[in-house]
Amino acid sequence: MEEETGKEKIMKEKTKKSVSYKDAGVDIDTKGCFTSNIYSKMQTTFDGRVIENPGGFGGLFALNSRLKKYRQPVLVSSSDGVGTKLKIAFMMNKHDTIGIDLVAMCVNDVVVLGAEPLFFLDYLASSKIIPEVLHEVIDGIVEGCRQAGCSLIGGETPEMPGFYQKGEYDIAGFVVGVVEKDEIINGKNITPGDVVLGLGSNGIHSNGYSLVRKIFFEEAGMKPSRSLRKYGLKTTLGEEILKPTRIYVKAILKILNKYKNKTVIKGMAHITGGGLLENIPRILPEGCSVKIDKTRWDIPAIFKIMQDIGNINEREMFRVFNMGIGMALIVSALDVKKIMNDLNAAGESVSVIGEVTEGERSVQVI
């Protein structure tokens, strides 16, 4: 067999097909068009503090216009995602609420410190940019920012073929807020005799979905389209478990602004992973515990359905899920009535769910 001459090798290289980034699965043109279209949606969340910088490498936010009212402003930040709740969105091909969850998980975490959320950024990665799907996700993020009163000033949308399953994506969010240094709410003033208020959740919110999926899809063999009418609900399973997380920011900030310089809210806990049992102790000082009375509020039916189908013990339910309480506030017994009235006026469902007792930073459910 004759060996190729140098000239033949060169000719073969010239006829060889050129490989592009698009051949590798990344379409720069599609991404460019997609990210350009996002900016107009972001603008709907802007206020006078945002310095517009379309196409820039970072988002710009002017502190001086709002922070003049602060003597010692402290920036508060948080980062989070929505976990395997994304799997439900994929199963239902419904992506317009998952962005609300993303914002909620971040902004609810900073408001418990008394902070006003200022701006938000997102990270939205996928195996392939499918504009109609990712625009739905962005719509949810924009809506979440509106509900929280913060600006969406930037983000990243990488296309990562071979890393994510086809048709799937992952999201993460980042928020920055501000609070006066001597008005940070950290639970240090909580004492036995204080009262625990619970703000109603919108169902499961964004935690415990590995167990949710195991119960409904593996154990019970149910499909997202399954009607829950036999359980007294008017929704399908998918609709019920995809309900977005409630955002409590505006209601809580109204209270804090109304009673400025007065410690009416001593501590707050966003009830996320770990449920009431794990989250409330995070704000309790030494010598304090909490006793919760589960008869004080209506536990949403979805939790009872899961408990029955999965044969889950009660402690596990309260340790994994919010059980109908998305946010817990600890206030003085003297302030309970006025705080409840203010929260009701702000559109929140609020109940007295327990009290602070002597003990070592634990929660007892009775």
Q: How far apart are CA 317 and CA 335, in angstroms?
A: 30
Please report the domains of the chain, with CATH numbers, ordered by start residue.
28-183 (3.30.1330.10), 195-365 (3.90.650.10)
In the prediction, which pLDDT does 63 show?
81
DSSP, collapsed to helix, strand or coil, labels residue 121 as: strand
The CA distance from 207 to 188, in Å, is 27
Nearest-angstrom CA–CA distance, 265 and 354: 15
CA distance 243 to 303: 14
Round to whole Å and give the CA distance between 362 and 286: 10
Q: Tell me, what's the pLDDT at 123?
A: 95
Cα 103 to the chain's mean position, in Å? 5
Number of other residues whose CB lies within 10 A of the CB of residue 187? 19
Q: pTM for this one?
A: 0.89
CA distances from residue 13 to 9, 18, 50, 128 in whole angstroms, order as listed: 6, 10, 52, 31
Q: Which of 64, 77, 66 is nearest to 115 (CA)?
A: 77
Look-up: residue for tokens 């996320």? 272
pLDDT of residue 41: 83
Question: DSSP 3-state assignment of 275?
Answer: helix
C-alpha 154/C-alpha 51 separation (Å) is 12
CA distances from 341 to 90, 292, 333, 338, 355 (A): 40, 21, 14, 5, 19
Which residue in the block uniquely carries the two structure tokens 């969406």? 152
Residue 22: predicted pLDDT = 63
CB 330 within 8 Å of CB 291: no
The residue length of the chain stands at 366
Round to whole Å and give the CA distance between 94 and 86. 10
Report the amino acid identity of residue 102: L
- Report the DSSP beta bridge partners of residue 74: 179
From first to last of its 366 residues, the chain has per-residue pLDDT tens of 455 666 666 555 555 667 665 655 655 656 566 666 777 788 788 888 888 877 777 888 888 766 677 889 999 999 999 999 999 999 999 999 999 999 999 999 999 999 999 999 999 999 888 889 999 999 999 999 999 999 999 999 898 888 988 889 999 999 999 999 999 999 999 999 999 999 999 999 999 999 999 999 999 999 999 999 998 899 999 999 999 999 999 999 999 999 876 789 999 999 999 999 999 999 999 999 999 999 999 999 999 999 999 999 999 999 999 999 999 999 999 999 999 999 999 999 999 999 999 999 999 999
pLDDT score at 167: 86
User: What CA dihedral angle connects 232, 236, 241 and 247, to 10 degrees?
Assistant: -80
Name the amino acid, one letter, at 260: K
The pLDDT, as a whole number, for residue 83 is 94
Query: Got the DSSP string for 39-102?
Result: HHHHHTT--TTEE--TT-SS-EE-SHHHHTT-SSEEEEEEEEE-TTHHHHHHHHT--SSHHHHH
Supply the DSSP string of 67-81, one letter for each residue: HTT-SSEEEEEEEEE
Mark out the alpha helices in 161-248 (DSSP H runs): 209-213, 237-241
Strand, helix or coil at 38? helix
Residue 334: DSSP 8-state: G
37 CB-near residues (< 8 Å, 6+ apart): 131, 135
* Cβ atoms of residues 60 and 186 within 8 Å: no
From residue 256, how far is each of 108, 179, 193, 356 by CA, in Å? 14, 11, 22, 21
